Structure 1
Amino acid sequence: MIPEIRFRGGMVIQRQFHQTLKVSLNPLLPIDPTEIITEIERDDKKDPKKEEVTKVKGRIKSIHIQKRTTTDGTKGNKGKSGNNGNENGSESPNDNENDRKEKEKRRKNFDKITNVLFKCTEAGLITLASLGVLVLGGILYHKIYKQNVLWKMDSSFEKNESLILLKHQDSVSNLDKDLWAERSNQELIDSIINGRIKGKYYLLLGEKGTGKTSTVMEGINRVQGKDCVIIDCSSDVELMRLRIGNALNFEFFEDYIGSLFSMKGPRESVPILDVERAFMKLEKVLIDRRNKTNKPLIMVFNNSHLIDSSLVELLQQKAENFSSSGMMTVMFISDDYWLFEKMKSFATRLQVINFEDTKLDQASKILKCSRIKNFKKSLTDEECATVYNLIGGRPQHLFHVASQKDMILAAQQLIDNEKLWFLNNCALLGADMDDDVMESGKFATSAMLLMRELVEMDRKRKENSQSDDIIDVVNLPQLPLWRARQVMTRPDYIEKYDKMNIFTIGTDSNVRADSVPMMRAFHEIASHSDFDSTLRETIDRISEIESLGRTREIVFKDLTHGGRFKIQENGDKCTKIITVEENEESEESKIETESNNSKTEDISHFNDYHHEGERKKWWKRRLEAYSHSSKGDDSKGAES
């Protein structure tokens, strides 16, 4: 039907309305409800032609019935009784027709309801079947996903190619195996990585640059990274979560499709909880591997001193559990002593491996190896011994010096850099220190007190020994930790000094200089004539600042220079009389004034000692000491 729309101008516009299809009402339902409704409405409406035919048929039937009744009444003996029987004993044709129509209508309604129920039942069964397939598919996906997580985690240990390992392989592959300077702990590390030693977890402790990471990387390189995982630690817990997941090939269920139907996603959980989930999956991997092999897996945490203290407890608990089963060995590489103190209180299977500076033969090999790599030039044993006596056997320092063209100049600059680093962080402020920086003054004073004690110990060693060198590069002077805290008068600063690479604490709880260049810097600083006076003035200034908060001072304005107070008691009234006696300037005050002037000059000299001219003097003294010691060794050899 196309309706017409008329306007005032007489213009007629025909518009056709769109009709909505029955199927487009709800395409997801297997039946169309409008279809059932239209069938019911269609049945309710009666066709007029059919009604006329039914009426004619009804009249013909009623005529036949009337004729039959009349003939039966005439033939019967008792017409009156027959008429009465027709009226009372038989029903009228209209009533029979109505009953038949009602029955037929009921039957049709029943058929319609049955049809609707059948279609609803069919729709429900189809829906249940669809849900059943969906549930079974979800369960199957969940099972396959969990198993795939274990497969991926197991495959991460097959051949782990980390960035640290690749760098180490590149540096070692360019060198001959005979030139590689093997550390003293290399054999022990190889036994741990190969699985010959198991049932423990290890803490590799040593100063920065002593070769801890290189030794472990060399051991992993020898097994081609099989069954090994390396994790570079960070102070941020979220970064640690990502790095542990990357090393173990674990996604923390972030790629799980089932999380789309959950209220909270995996990203909203705490990072420590995610790390716990990763280790729970790792336990299942270890259980599956137990039937295949007895070789333990290796997990290495590099720079583990950066890990947050809350995460250290979790990692240590897992290391204890894994080591007890013998299926995993965890190794922590640390530069600071605080991690050893943290783990020692809960450790039962912990073993500490200490890394120290190399000896002369290993240091010479490192120098020759690095020199050939950088300049294609070999060094003599005398040159290696000179560099070793100057900066010690720290591999980091040896590699740095060997990469420079002039090794002696590079060694001198290394000592100056250590001295500058120490003074930048722990310089004394003297008597003019402001009261707002008292904490910084205490920090510097404690460091200087400990430094002076180590220098005095080294000087006494030199007096008792026959060597001309003031520093024994093999055995640096050291103090027990409790004694170092007594010398500093502060027990809490030593950990900060250790993190700043000024002092170091070994596994035997002994405190010493961080390196040989740092110890030489200590000697040069303590050898200045105004060092002790500046240290005493700083200590006195700190005492004065602290006394301001605890005491009250009385100041007399009329007291002139060199005057004295005179206090007299009055016995009758029990009072005190204070009088001021003015005197001329005494000799003591003159001497004190002259000493203050000399101290001012010394302080200016102390502030300028690291200038270019003074630096060259120290370099000349060092070289003279080395040349004198080498001549003494030659004369002794000749005499022998």
Structure 2
Amino acid sequence: MARFGRTSRYRMTRSVLRRHCILLVQRAGAGLSGSPRNRSSVSNDDNGGGAGWRSASSKLLEGGATALGSVFVLGLAGYTYHWYYKSLVLRKMENAFAPGYSSLELAALGRQPALADPHSRSDVGNVEDDDWIPRTEQAIIDDIVDGSTQGQYHLVTGEKGTGKTSMLLKAMKKIDGDGIAMLEAHPDLEIFRVRLGKALDYEFHEDYIGSLFSFKGPRDTTPLLDIERAFNKMEKIALKRQEKAGKPLVLIINGIHLLQDDEGGRHLLELIQQRAELWAASSLVNVVLNSDEYWITERLMMRATRLRVLPVRDIPKGPAIAALRSFRYAAFQEDVSTDILGQVYDKVGGRLRFLSQIAKSPNMIDACDSICEKEKRWFLSQCWILGKEMDSNAEGQQEFCAAAMVIAKALVEREEAMGEDEKRDGRLPQIPLHEARQIVTRADFIQHHDHLNIVTIDPHSMMVQADSVAMQNAFREVCGQDGFEEHLQATIDRLDELESLGRTRELTIKDLWGNGAYRAVVERQEGRQNTVVSLRAIPPKADKAQA
């Protein structure tokens, strides 16, 4: 019985193990086939293996199809984003040229209305600076801004305060800013880039699919490249406008002279000029540059073919006196005599910013004297000379100041040689640019004097004159002081002395013991211009014996 029991238990164990093995094989077959049918049919080994390979191939095809579908969806999304981004950029830039104004233009145009009551003194300060003075250049600027003038780009130049910006803003206001973008120049190219983007409503984002998933990081390009990309976008808007309206866009860059006269500033100016030349040839964009200094004109003229220079000068004597008389009568009920108005013009000329101050002042003669005194103080603070007691460290600055005094003295002498008719007409004495450079013996000083509003250079005739009538009066008063010529000559002599000392080399010999000395022998070799100086030490005893 014991043996039979052990045999029975052994057979039962084998049966259990067999069932476990069958279950393991079924589960393995189910893992290969993935279907309930294959899990139940594990007796046929050949059929189970074929079903497993077919299942692996189907999974591989399913995974590949999923990957390809994902790539397709991702590419479609990227292309859709790319198309949407480009259209959005163009729509935003197109809105920038729509009727209306940007925040900068609104700030510039947000001036008070004209006199509500011409007989009320309380409203005098609300009069626009140049509404009461007729300008012949206004019609030309109106045609440029509204797109009637095509095929050129324009440089509006003139002295500070002649009304250039005011006329541009007035022309913009007449057409409600339609098709116009305006920005202020800046010496820093990064700030210029930001201001251009604000004027064009362009944010300089890269046109690539990575922007779909992440924000753009710090720029890895230069400002010039971003400006070039902005101009590329603007060309597309200009093409649409030319097809629809038949007029070009207008891009106004105010204060272009604020660019630095260095490598970066010159590269930016060349970039703007290249675009302006191309746009003028195709009548796509009217580029208007507003400048107060001559160096911009000189730089642009070297490569210009379609450039039109529009000088804005002081108002002639007749229109200025008539407008001033009308304004004083309307605002103050004052009938000013012709003699007083002539005195006003003789003191400040036809400079618009001066006439605006004087017209609103209760006492016009006192206002003229105040303006002349300010111009004189400015001239002296920037260019006064120090005389023979000048310190050697001031040599460079005093060369600039002495040049300013020399050119001022030359202009005063030219004024004395002018006729009375020319003086009464308000014309200022002028010197050709090449002669002015010869007088100051430096070619670069005149440009710096122009930068400080001491003198100005006419871009058409290349003539140098005082920056204004008030500045010419300051020249006359300074040069007429007692002892001025002697003081100027002493300064020039001192500068020559410092320059000579700068070219002189001093030789110091040390280490003389006792009563020792050196003997210098100067020799000039025949046939040569070089002089040889030889030094020889003399012992103390030999020196005494020779003595």
Shift of 1:262: 9.1
Q: Indicate yes or no: 2:230 matched with 1:278.
A: yes
Of 327, 343, 351, the residue aligned with 2:308 is 351
Q: Is the 8 A contact 1:206 1:336 kept in 2?
A: yes
Q: State the Cα deviation string for residues 295-331 of structure 1 (Å, max 9, x = none).
A: 1111111001112222000000000000000121111
For the residue of structure 1 that corresponds to 2:251, the secondary structure is: strand
Of 509, 530, 549, the residue aligned with 2:502 is 549
Q: Distance in 2 between matches of 1:354 and 1:186?
A: 12
Q: Distance in 1 between matches of 2:214 and 2:95?
A: 29
Per the alignment, residue 536 of structure 2 pairs with: none
Per the alignment, residue 485 of structure 1 pairs with: 437
Of 287, 290, 311, the residue aligned with 1:333 is 290
Amino acid at match of 1:48: V
Q: Give the alignment of 1:621-640 within 5 angstroms.
A: none
Shift of 1:293: 2.4
Amino acid at match of 1:465: E
Q: Indicate yes or no: 2:148 matched with 1:192.
A: no
Q: Give the alignment of 1:551-630 within 5 angstroms.
A: 551=504
Q: Is the 8 A contact 1:366 1:395 kept in 2?
A: no
Q: Distance in 1 between matches of 2:228 and 2:316?
A: 43
Per the alignment, residue 444 of structure 1 pairs with: 401
Structure 1 gaps, min length 5? 1-45, 55-100, 555-640
Amino acid at match of 2:314: D
Query: Compared with structure 1, are the counterparts of its residues 465 and 287 closer, same or farther at alpha carbon in structure 2 (3 Å cutoff)?
Result: closer
Q: Distance in 1 between matches of 2:53 and 2:15?
A: 23
Q: Indicate yes or no: 2:324 matched with 1:399.
A: no
For the residue of structure 2 that corresponds to 1:230, the secondary structure is: strand
Of 455, 463, 474, the residue aligned with 1:503 is 455
User: Is 444-453 or 146-155 further displaced after alignment?
Assistant: 146-155
Q: Is the 8 A contact 1:198 1:296 kept in 2?
A: yes
Structure 2 gaps, min length 5? 1-13, 23-40, 117-127, 260-264, 508-547
For the residue of structure 2 that corresponds to 1:268, the secondary structure is: coil
Of 437, 445, 459, the residue aligned with 2:416 is 459
User: How many pairs does the alignment contain?
Assistant: 457
For the residue of structure 2 that corresponds to 1:298, the secondary structure is: strand
Q: Distance in 2 between matches of 1:52 and 1:126?
A: 38
Q: Distance in 1 between matches of 2:449 and 2:304?
A: 25
Per the alignment, residue 48 of structure 1 pairs with: 16
Q: State the Cα deviation string for residues 269-317 of structure 1 (Å, max 9, x = none).
A: 1110000111111222223333222111111110011122220000000
Per the alignment, residue 124 of structure 1 pairs with: 64
Whichever of the two has the greater Rg, that structure is 1
For the residue of structure 1 that corresponds to 2:244, the secondary structure is: coil
Q: State the Cα deviation string for residues 459-514 of structure 1 (Å, max 9, x = none).
A: 222xx5379xxx54620001000011111111110000000000000112100000
Q: Distance in 2 between matches of 1:265 and 1:552?
A: 57
Q: State the Cα deviation string for residues 433-473 of structure 1 (Å, max 9, x = none).
A: 11221112211111111100111111222xx5379xxx546
Query: Compared with structure 1, are the counterparts of its residues 184 and 164 closer, same or farther at alpha carbon in structure 2 (3 Å cutoff)?
Result: farther
Q: Distance in 2 between matches of 1:458 and 1:175?
A: 40
Q: State the Cα deviation string for residues 555-596 of structure 1 (Å, max 9, x = none).
A: xxxxxxxxxxxxxxxxxxxxxxxxxxxxxxxxxxxxxxxxxx
Of 62, 70, 73, the residue aligned with 1:133 is 73
Shift of 1:524: 0.7
Per the alignment, residue 183 of structure 2 pairs with: 231
Shift of 1:245: 1.1
Q: Distance in 2 between matches of 1:544 and 1:553?
A: 15
Per the alignment, residue 242 of structure 2 pairs with: 290
Shift of 1:365: 6.0
Q: Distance in 2 between matches of 1:47 and 1:473?
A: 132
User: Is 189-198 or 176-185 further displaced after alignment?
Assistant: 176-185
Q: Distance in 1 between matches of 2:133 and 2:107?
A: 17
Q: Is the 8 A contact 1:364 1:381 kept in 2?
A: no
Q: Distance in 1 between matches of 2:101 and 2:404?
A: 43
Q: Indicate yes or no: 2:487 matched with 1:534.
A: yes
For the residue of structure 1 that corresponds to 2:99, the secondary structure is: coil
Q: Is the 8 A contact 2:78 2:212 kept in 1?
A: no
Per the alignment, residue 15 of structure 1 pairs with: none
For the residue of structure 1 that corresponds to 2:44, the secondary structure is: helix
Q: Is the 8 A contact 1:200 1:329 kept in 2?
A: yes
Q: Is the 8 A contact 2:428 2:465 kept in 1?
A: yes
Q: Distance in 2 between matches of 1:522 and 1:425?
A: 13
Per the alignment, residue 114 of structure 1 pairs with: 54
Percent identical residues: 38
Query: Compared with structure 1, are the counterparts of its residues 379 and 212 closer, same or farther at alpha carbon in structure 2 (3 Å cutoff)?
Result: farther
Per the alignment, residue 246 of structure 1 pairs with: 198
Q: State the Cα deviation string for residues 506-540 of structure 1 (Å, max 9, x = none).
A: 11210000011111111111111210000111111
Q: Indicate yes or no: 2:404 matched with 1:434.
A: no
Q: Distance in 1 between matches of 2:377 and 2:427?
A: 24
For the residue of structure 1 that corresponds to 2:155, the secondary structure is: strand
Q: Is the 8 A contact 2:97 2:179 kept in 1?
A: yes
Query: Compared with structure 1, are the counterparts of its residues 268 and 381 closer, same or farther at alpha carbon in structure 2 (3 Å cutoff)?
Result: farther
Of 158, 161, 164, the residue aligned with 1:212 is 164
Query: Compared with structure 1, are the counterparts of its residues 400 and 163 closer, same or farther at alpha carbon in structure 2 (3 Å cutoff)?
Result: farther
Q: Distance in 1 between matches of 2:52 and 2:15?
A: 19
Query: Compared with structure 1, are the counterparts of its residues 368 and 409 closer, same or farther at alpha carbon in structure 2 (3 Å cutoff)?
Result: same
Structure-2-length-normalised TM-score:
0.76
Q: Is the 8 A contact 2:99 2:176 kept in 1?
A: yes
Higher relative contact order (CA 8 A, sep 6+): 2
Q: Give the alignment of 1:160-199 within 5 angstroms.
A: 160-163=100-103, 165-167=105-107, 169-171=109-111, 173-175=113-115, 180-199=132-151
Q: Distance in 2 between matches of 1:225 and 1:369?
A: 31
For the residue of structure 1 that corresponds to 2:288, the secondary structure is: strand
Query: Compared with structure 1, are the counterparts of its residues 408 and 53 closer, same or farther at alpha carbon in structure 2 (3 Å cutoff)?
Result: closer
Amino acid at match of 2:404: A
Shift of 1:148: 2.0
Amino acid at match of 2:305: T
Amino acid at match of 1:420: R
Q: Distance in 1 between matches of 2:244 and 2:258?
A: 36
For the residue of structure 1 that corresponds to 2:388, the secondary structure is: coil
Query: Compared with structure 1, are the counterparts of its residues 455 and 490 closer, same or farther at alpha carbon in structure 2 (3 Å cutoff)?
Result: same
Q: State the Cα deviation string for residues 175-234 of structure 1 (Å, max 9, x = none).
A: 489963231111111122232221001111100000111111111111111111111111
Per the alignment, residue 336 of structure 2 pairs with: 380
Q: How much is the aligned-residue C-alpha RMSD, in angstroms?
A: 3.1
Query: Compared with structure 1, are the counterparts of its residues 167 and 287 closer, same or farther at alpha carbon in structure 2 (3 Å cutoff)?
Result: closer
Query: Compared with structure 1, are the counterparts of its residues 550 and 129 closer, same or farther at alpha carbon in structure 2 (3 Å cutoff)?
Result: closer
Q: Distance in 1 between matches of 2:16 and 2:283?
A: 95
Q: Distance in 1 between matches of 2:20 and 2:102?
A: 96
Of 460, 464, 468, the residue aligned with 1:515 is 468
For the residue of structure 1 that corresponds to 2:227, the secondary structure is: helix
